[in-house]
A = this chain, B = another copy of it.
Amino acid sequence: MTTSSSTSLFIIGSGPAGLTAAVYSARAELQPLVCEGTTPGGQLMGTTAVENWPGDVSILGPELMTRMREHAAHCGAQYIEGSVTAVDLSQRPFHIVTDTQHYFEAQALIIATGATPKRLNCPGESLYWGRGVSTCAVCDGALYRNKSVIIVGGGDSAMEYASFLAKFTNKITVIHIRDTLTASPSLQRRVLDHSNIAIRYTSSVTEIIGNGNQVTHVLVHNQQTDTSETIAVDGIFIAIGLTPNSKLFKDHIACDKAGYIIQQPHSTETSVKGVFAAGDCVDPRYRQAITSAGDGCRAALDAERFLNENTP
């Protein structure tokens, strides 16, 4: 351990939940430390125009997050580079270690680590990640104008990706493992009514093939007919769900089967007193910047109340 310091409140994560918690807790003079994580600013840093942040008709995702980061800093929040690699939540003060070998003690903790899009885990995926393989249509769609793309998934996100990509290209195929889509009816309808979007049901991508630099083909297996086919594509958008970034905490606090951290009723407190959670790491359902921000505010107010009642 190179250095150590102690704080009343440590916040893990710097997306809308973490930074809103930082704004509120800094304004309450709790002098929070915010560990920014592997993706400072969170998932919105990988987006372009955000059109549903209330009050801003259109704002770039990175700009919104930069504004939040500066706001929290203005209020007194301090930022820690790097990621948390270990925690000890068995007693207060909680112990936190980062990958920069810094060590912290905190009287209260807010976990706002977000969620990570799931991967296919098939051959070629890692090799061509960022070279034809993407999990963000909004981020990368414009790179595929008039090119051939596939979308993997059948839920809301997959349908949203398909509708979005249809702005750029009419060579779109949705690959879905089940025999029916699971997206909401209105989102399904927009895709099904689109004459240029093909859907392959009961199918999955079993290999991603390229020329060493860039994706050129995918191998798709149809479970029903037990046949495989090689399809020429330029891009693959994976929309098969998210994994909450809670692995580090699973042995310490209660999570559900999918790994989402469980909050107490009408509170953001976790199963450990003094540890609060907010944002996509607790929310499989809504996952919006504004809902995460609201949750981050709640966590800060809950942490403040906890510290008021439990500080020696």
Contacts and interface: CB of A to CB of B under 8 A. Distances in A.
Interface residues of A, number: 53
User: Which of A56, A142, A187, A291 has the most C-beta atoms of chain B within 10 angstroms of its own C-beta?
Assistant: A291
Interface of A: 16, 19-20, 23-24, 27-29, 51-57, 64, 67-68, 70-72, 74-75, 138, 142, 160, 163-164, 167, 184-187, 190, 265-266, 285-286, 288, 290-298, 301, 304-305, 308-309
Contact of A291 (B70, B185, B297): B297
Nearest to A265: B265
B186 A309 contact: yes
A70 B54 contact: no
Given A28-B164, A186-B304, A297-B291, A285 B309 contact: no
A308 B167 contact: no
A264 B252 CA distance: 28
A19 B286 contact: no
A37 to B, nearest CB: 18
B55 A27 contact: no
8 contacts: A28-B164, A28-B167, A55-B68, A57-B70, A163-B308, A184-B308, A186-B309, A288-B297
B266 A305 contact: no
A293 B52 contact: no
Contacts of A74: 57
B301 A286 contact: yes
B56 A67 contact: yes
Closest 10 CB pairs of A and B: A294-B294, A55-B67, A291-B294, A20-B54, A29-B167, A185-B308, A55-B68, A184-B308, A290-B297, A54-B68
A291 to B, nearest CB: 4
B294 A290 contact: yes
Contacts of A301: 138, 285-286, 288
Contacts of A187: 308-309
A54 B16 contact: yes
A278 to B, nearest CB: 10
B291 A286 contact: no
A1 B138 CA distance: 37
Contacts of A304: 184, 186
A27 B54 contact: no
Contact of A71 (B57, B293, B298, B305): B57
A286 B308 contact: no
A47 to B, nearest CB: 15
Nearest to A51: B27
B186 A308 contact: yes
